[in-house]
Amino acid sequence: MGRLIAPCVVAHLRPDAGTVGTTAIDKQPVDGPVKVGKLGLYADVQADRKHHGGEAKAVYAYAAEDADWWAEQLGRDIPPGLFGENLRVAGLEVSNARVGERWKIGEKVVLEVTVPRTPCMTFARWMGEENSGWVRRFSDARRLGAYLRVVSTGSVSAGDGIEVVPAPEGAPTILDIYQGI
């Protein structure tokens, strides 16, 4: 069983050198319960809706264990929300989650794993790594995180348990899907 470390929503829209001109990657943890609707956490937005958001990418989850690994690699703290995630979770191998598995969080919310995160230059610029090969490095580390669709709405809070309902046998993992992209 996993645990929700922090639900995160956009703190500020930031100017960005990319084609959209702004980014909503600046996510911060929320104190107390956060409502989860069909398009994700309330008070969250996506600036680039061509590549983020919508029902299939309503929520982005990242594992605390992977963030800790990156903190060691980069020599700096990777607090919840820094990678643009909506959910920082612990005790789940997010990048090895199977497409179609469901996560029951708290009493009502059910999310379903859909696709991997595909790192981009906005992420590299946000991390201050635009000239370091960050997109390739993040991809090669195979610690991508996963997008999820909202199956059942409700509210989530830091500390909520996460029960995983397995996907059908043979369903591909997030990493299997990413390798095929």
Tens-digit pLDDT profile for the chain (181 aa)? Answer: 999 999 999 998 888 888 888 888 999 999 999 999 999 999 998 877 676 788 999 999 999 999 999 999 999 999 999 999 999 999 999 999 999 999 999 999 999 999 999 999 999 999 999 989 999 999 999 999 999 999 999 999 999 999 999 999 999 999 999 987 6
Q: Residues 99, 113: contact at Cβ < 8 Å?
A: yes
Element (H, E) at 136: helix 134-141
Greatest Cα pair distance, the chain, in angstroms, is 44
CATH number of 2-180: 2.40.33.20
Q: Residue ranges of the domains in the chain?
A: 2-180
